[in-house]
Amino acid sequence: MSLDPTYLEYPRRALGYDHALYPYAPLPRRAPLAWPDGRRVAVWFTVSLEWFPITPSDTPFRAPGHMQTAYPDYRHYTSREYGTRMGFYRLLDAFDKVGAKVSVAVNAAIAQRYPQIIADILGAGHEIIAHSTDMNGTIASTLPVEQERALIEQSLATLEEATGRRPRGWHSIARSQSFATLDLLKEAGVDYCVDWANDEMPFAFNNGLVNIPLNHELSDRQIINVQQQSVDSYAQQVLDAHDWLNAEAQAQGGGRMLPLHITPYIIGLPYRMDTFERLLADLAARPDTWFARGCDIFDAFAANQG
């Protein structure tokens, strides 16, 4: 038994990455990036607002949170809708109480189906970033590139029509991209994506698109749904992270980001909301917190790049 000889050949074994998507730059060796008013921790909430067709698609893959039972899967279809009708409005009220402005990653189908939600988001001063078409709009390298280009354009155009401006940010379903995605997003006029959780501060890809890393571990989906921890533990972990980042920013200069990806049908349940509201109040009470939207972080990063 032996392996094909090419298995022991390493044509990309050289300084830097084994791809040309972005350059290597370790965080502690980059110039500090300061936030407005010298705040040390940019607390950036991204709420995913999603519509799951009751007819799920597995091409190129089935989105997390999608239908699970044989057709018709009333339980998952309606549980996701609960997040949009109920949980999301609890979240809007909670953000309002502490004056937090957030990013909302919106499926274009939400804008087509529920225009009132779009008005409520924009009226509260939140940012809308594009989150594909609907939850059948997944991207992977197994999707033909022309279909991917059309999907991105359809999402952006629909949201542009509904909101009056083209979204500046992009969030792929499950953060899944193809090797073409970064160039397609740049070509479509997007300023930044949030899919690569390989860093804790914004950085530019080689094609000029910016990544604002949305931590995929420190999310309600990962901690509460996947790892089955309590909402109290979730809140504790967020505050522990805030403590650490605040101290690190103080020691190293500039600011740090605390990206918090949340899901209305998970965090927006009645028995979790009190803890979440206490967490928001705790974050708001910390003098070093800057509640920022993705576009605010992008602008601070871009200004710093000169």
Partner 1 sequence: MREGSPDPELYEFQRYRARKPFAWPGGKKVAVWISPNLEYYEIDPPANPHRKSWARPHPDVVGYAHRDHANRVGHWRMADVMSKHGFPGSVSLSVALCQHHPDVVADANARGWEFFSHGIYNTRYSYGMDEAQERAIIEDSIRTVRDATGQTIRGWLAPALTHTPRTLDLIAEYGMDYTCDLYHDDQPFPVKVNKGRLLSMPYSLEVNDHYGFFIYNMSPRDYAQTLIRQYERLAAEESGTVMCIPLHSYLIGQPHRIGPFEEVLRHIAQDAGEGGRAWITRAGDIADAWYDAQEGGQ
Q: Which residues bind partner 1 (CB under 8 A)?
A: 1-4, 6-8, 10, 12-19, 24-29, 60-61, 140-142, 172, 174-179, 195-200, 213, 215-218, 223, 226-229, 233, 236-238, 240-241, 243-245, 248, 256, 258
**Between residues 8 and 70, which has the closer beta carbon with respect to partner 1?**
8
**Between residues 116 and 228, which has the closer beta carbon with respect to partner 1?**
228
**Between residues 96 and 240, which has the closer beta carbon with respect to partner 1?**
240
Our CA angle for 129, 131, 134, nearest 5°, is: 140
**Between residues 8 and 285, which has the closer beta carbon with respect to partner 1?**
8
Residues 299/255, Cβ–Cβ less than 8 Å: no
**Between residues 28 and 123, which has the closer beta carbon with respect to partner 1?**
28
Q: List the structure tokens of 261.
A: 């990806």
CB of 207 to partner 1, least distance (A): 15
Mention every residue, 6+ apart, whose C-beta is less than 8 A from residue 93.
Answer: none
Q: List the structure tokens of 24.
A: 């290597």
Positive or negative CA dihedral for 250, 251, 254, 257? negative
> What are residue 290's DSSP bridge partners?
42
6 exposure class (CB count in 10 Å sphere: 0-12, 13-18, 19+): exposed
Report d(CA 2, CA 4) in Å as an integer. 7
**Between residues 166 and 186, which has the closer beta carbon with respect to partner 1?**
186
Measured in degrees and rounded to the nearest 5, phi and psi for residue 204 equal -100, 135
CB of 77 to partner 1, least distance (A): 25
CB of 96 to partner 1, least distance (A): 26
CB of 234 to partner 1, least distance (A): 9
- Describe the chain by its helix, strand, coil percentages, rounded to 5: 45, 10, 40
Report d(CA 168, CA 52) in Å as an integer. 23
Q: List the structure tokens of 87.
A: 């949980």
Q: List the structure tokens of 135.
A: 């939850």
CB of 18 to partner 1, least distance (A): 5
CB of 97 to partner 1, least distance (A): 24
The candidate with the shortest Cα–Cα distance to 110, out of 167, 34, 69, is 167
Establish how many alpha carbons lie within 13 A of residue 25's alpha carbon, considering only the half-sphere containing its beta carbon: 14
CB of 195 to partner 1, least distance (A): 6
**Between residues 112 and 229, which has the closer beta carbon with respect to partner 1?**
229
**Between residues 65 and 213, which has the closer beta carbon with respect to partner 1?**
213
CB of 48 to partner 1, least distance (A): 15
